[in-house]
């Protein structure tokens, strides 16, 4: 096995993708989701800079400087993929054509508010497409570590950092477990086999509701499975 925690998180996130979905992957852990999407799901990956159908990384020496992802790195297109200008790309986002966006986070509030674009006082390139994606995608899934570098909870009663979009998050996957947000309530539904419900509750600043039966995520040679 030997998968890193972030890769297991990405593997679990990929289980949320439905057949023939159009998805968008944010920077960081979300980019790993692409490694765990079964080919028979016929998923199209969208890039804000004007791509639909992003494929695997190109082999060294075969990069096309005209085909890059939203992070500016060379990529490829799958069969049936296309590229277009950024105005069409954002029109797709704003019209609600993205089925799922997978995003990173600095903070998430228990009502689904998301802060993921700036820490005051630090230099950043800008919000990018995160604001539109968080507001307009049919489903917003957050992939993040449960705590920050100071071991403080990222999942809060209220965000303290500038907000990217309000009341937008549907599902949170951290290195401890899976939580859904329903009617402004944060509900723990799954934990990884390496932790406990008590640890998740202790490391969550927000008010955490516990599902009646919390599933335990295990990892085997074949992938993820649920057990006791």
Just list the catalytic residues.
48
User: Around Cβ 108, how many Cβ atoms within 10 Å?
Assistant: 28
Count of CB atoms situated within 10 Å of the CB of 171: 19
With 0-12 / 13-18 / 19 or more C-beta atoms within 10 angstroms meaning exposed / middle / buried, residue 36 is middle
Count how many residues are written for the chain.
Answer: 228
Strand order in the sheet with 208-220: 77-83, 51-54, 44-47, 22-25, 100-103, 139-143, 171-173, 177-182, 185-192, 208-220, 223-227
Whole-number Å distance between alpha carbons of 66 and 84 = 11
Cα-based angle 81, 133, 165 (whole degrees, multiple of 5): 175
Dist. CA 129–CA 111, nearest whole Å: 22
Residues 6 or more apart whose CB falls under 8 angstroms from that of 134 comprise: 101, 103, 114, 116, 140, 164, 165, 168, 169
Q: 57 in helix, strand or coil?
A: coil
Give the up-direction half-sphere exposure of residue 115: CA atoms within 13 A in the CB hemisphere: 19
């Amino acid at each position: 096995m030997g998968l890193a925690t972030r890769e297991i998180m990405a593997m679990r996130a990929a289980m949320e993708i439905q057949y023939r979905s159009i998805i968008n992957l944010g920077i960081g852990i979300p980019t790993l989701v692409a490694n765990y999407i079964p080919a028979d799901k016929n998923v199209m990956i969208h890039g804000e800079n004007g791509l639909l159908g992003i494929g695997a990384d190109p082999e060294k020496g075969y990069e096309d400087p005209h085909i890059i992802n939203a992070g500016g790195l060379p990529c490829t297109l799958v069969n049936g993929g296309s590229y277009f200008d950024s105005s069409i790309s954002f029109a797709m986002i704003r019209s609600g054509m993205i089925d799922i966006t997978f995003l990173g986070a600095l903070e998430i509030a228990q009502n689904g508010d998301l802060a993921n674009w700036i820490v005051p006082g630090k230099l950043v390139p800008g919000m990018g497409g995160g604001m539109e994606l968080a507001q307009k995608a049919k489903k917003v899934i957050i992939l993040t570590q449960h705590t920050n570098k100071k071991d403080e909870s990222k999942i809060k009663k209220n965000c303290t950092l500038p907000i990217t979009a309000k009341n937008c998050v549907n599902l949170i996957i951290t290195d401890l477990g899976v939580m859904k947000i329903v009617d402004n309530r944060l509900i723990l539904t799954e934990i990884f086999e390496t932790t406990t419900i008590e640890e998740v509750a202790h490391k969550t600043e927000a008010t955490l509701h516990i599902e009646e039966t919390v599933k335990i995520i295990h990892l085997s040679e074949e992938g993820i499975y649920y057990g006791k």
